[in-house]
Amino acid sequence: MSRSALPVILCLLAQWSEGLAERSNVVLFLVDDLGWMDLGCQGSHYYKTPNIDRLAASGIRFTNAYAACAVCTPTRASILTGKYPARNLMTQWLPAGRWSATGHRMREGRFLRSLPLEEVTLAEALREAGYRTLHVGKWHLGGPPFSLPSHHGFDVNVGGSEHGAPGHYFYPYKGSWKIPTTEQRVQKITLPDGKKGEYLTDRLTSEALKLIEESRGQPFFLYLPYYAVHTPLQGKKELISRFSSIRRDQRQGSPVYAAMVASVDESVGRVVKKLEELKMTDNTLVIFTSDNGGFAGATRHDPLRANKGSHYEGGIRVPLIVAGAGVKGREQTSSVPTISNDIYPTVLEMMGLSSRPYQHVDGVSLAPVIKGSGKVRRDALFWHYPHYNRHPQSAPVSIVRHGKWKLIEFLERSEFELYDLEKDPGEKVNRAADYPNLVSEMNTRLQKWKKEVGAQAMESNPQYTGK
């Protein structure tokens, strides 16, 4: 290298380093099984979420936000890949095993049991752009030897494994899980260490705060997918007592579940406070959402129909809040229909990074709405779930939402339901018989989409006995 070239190289390196320092951070909260009506800002009078409500008031809240699936794994895959579950074959929760060879009329569609290494995740895209990538909490997209957060773009992994639920919410975080197909019990430890009385949600937040401190001087992506408020329902005694004192006829759900929601809210407040202390508030994009509707045994989503596991609105409609860097205005709401796939391209555009259209092929950037600079153009939203599960009102379905209309194709019995979501968000009145031409038109759109994404079909099950 010539001596004359050295100053030029040093200057370029300095400019690159300065660019990294000026780049905004990203914090993505993903709460497990948090329902659409489980926040104060969403209309709940029972659950107390002042910190999340303040976050919503400081930015924009999307009122027509959807999870990519009514169960957890597919939605998590869609967030990180920008693809519909039907396209990346991550259509069922892991490890599943709910299908019965004699008890189900149809054979389930094929699905993958780990996130493919071929996918360039959001974490990988941000790491390539100079970000420090941090995973704290639930993973549930596969396990060892090659499908942990460290294999999919994260520099740090705290608490992420193949397990979909924690061993326990209190230290030592031990528990067991019964494999549905074999009845075998598998022992699991969510975190290897801790202190007596320590609560998992609090501990994960403390780990996240340490990582934020360590990341000063370098842009970071903090993915904070809490295990809460997934079962087992376990909360801090003082919070349970607080919600137990409320009259039963004024409760929206279980006091234990309410305590878990309150703990998540406390943790969101701690993260926001840390960003404020480090003067990062204006330089950090904060996204808050859920992976599916709330658990039927814990909460209600009135006026929405059903809960987690069902593809009626209560199972797939979720909160979505965006605040911080680049967000125009306060106390904004948007009725634009959104889905989990949109997070990937939205983050890239908000960070000023090049899009990856061949990766996040099914996502649409919400940046124009968030920045107040334009509109989002989207034709329709789609779902495909060729599986069974044990949640109430669940069924194998394919769905298209176009405008105010939602068409549900029941794969087992080849029947359709059509709902006007503007007039009937609770999906009480099936309008399929009233609008046969609309059903035909939307079904044509749905079948075309399924063909385009390679959606796995269900087949008749010759072993079915009805038992």
DSSP designation for 27: E
| Mean pLDDT for the stretch of residues 180-195 | 85
Quick one: tokens of 140? 């549930």
| Mean pLDDT for the stretch of residues 157-177 | 94
Q: In the prediction, which pLDDT does 100 show?
A: 84
According to DSSP, the β-strands at 25-31 and 284-290 are: parallel
Contact 324, 286 (CB under 8 A): yes
Domain-located, residue 436: yes
Query: Domain end: 353, 377, 401, which one?
Result: 377
**Both 302 and 341 in a single domain?**
yes
**Both 337 and 409 in a single domain?**
no
* Amino acid in position 445: R
Domain-located, residue 4: no
The full DSSP string for 197-234 is T-BHHHHHHHHHHHHHHHTTTS-EEEEEEE-TTSSS--
For the ranges 59-73, 166-180, 254-268, the lowest mean pLDDT is seen at: 166-180
Query: What region, left, alpha or beta, does residue 466 occupy, with left being phi > 0 and alpha being psi -120 to 50 degrees?
Result: left
| Residue 3 pLDDT grade (very low, low, confident, very high; cuts 50, 70, 90) | low
Domain-located, residue 54: yes
Q: What are phi and psi of 73, to 5 degrees?
A: -55, -50
| Residue 153 pLDDT grade (very low, low, confident, very high; cuts 50, 70, 90) | very high
Domain-located, residue 331: yes
**Both 276 and 295 in a single domain?**
yes
Query: Domain end: 337, 352, 377, which one?
Result: 377
Query: Domain end: 335, 353, 377, which one?
Result: 377
| Mean pLDDT for the stretch of residues 219-225 | 98
Question: Domain range for residue 352?
Answer: 24-377
Contact 285, 221 (CB under 8 A): no
| Mean pLDDT for the stretch of residues 434-445 | 98
**Both 62 and 96 in a single domain?**
yes
Domain-located, residue 10: no
Residue 410: give its domain's CATH number. 3.30.1120.10
- Going by C-alpha positions, the residue among 293, 340, 294 that lies closest to residue 316 is 293
For the ranges 10-24, 123-137, 237-251, the lowest mean pLDDT is seen at: 10-24
Domain-located, residue 63: yes
**Both 309 and 440 in a single domain?**
no
**Both 249 and 183 in a single domain?**
yes
**Both 239 and 350 in a single domain?**
yes
Q: Report which secondary-structure segment, H or E, holds 415.
A: strand 415-420
Residue 117: give its domain's CATH number. 3.40.720.10
Domain-located, residue 216: yes
| Alpha-carbon distances of 295 from 34, 368, 465, rounded to whole Å | 8, 33, 30
**Both 340 and 360 in a single domain?**
yes
Contact 133, 150 (CB under 8 A): no
Domain-located, residue 87: yes
Residues 6+ apart with CB under 8 A from 104: 388, 461, 464
**Both 155 and 296 in a single domain?**
yes
Query: What region, left, alpha or beta, does residue 146 occupy, with left being phi > 0 and alpha being psi -120 to 50 degrees?
Result: alpha
Quick one: tokens of 129? 């752009």
As for how many domains the chain has, the answer is: 2
**Both 368 and 403 in a single domain?**
no
**Both 142 and 185 in a single domain?**
yes
Contact 356, 126 (CB under 8 A): no
| Mean pLDDT for the stretch of residues 376-393 | 94
Q: In the prediction, which pLDDT does 34 show?
A: 98
Q: In the prediction, which pLDDT does 116 show?
A: 96
**Both 131 and 169 in a single domain?**
yes
Residues 6+ apart with CB under 8 A from 285: 24, 25, 26, 27, 322, 323, 324, 325, 326, 327, 347, 350, 351
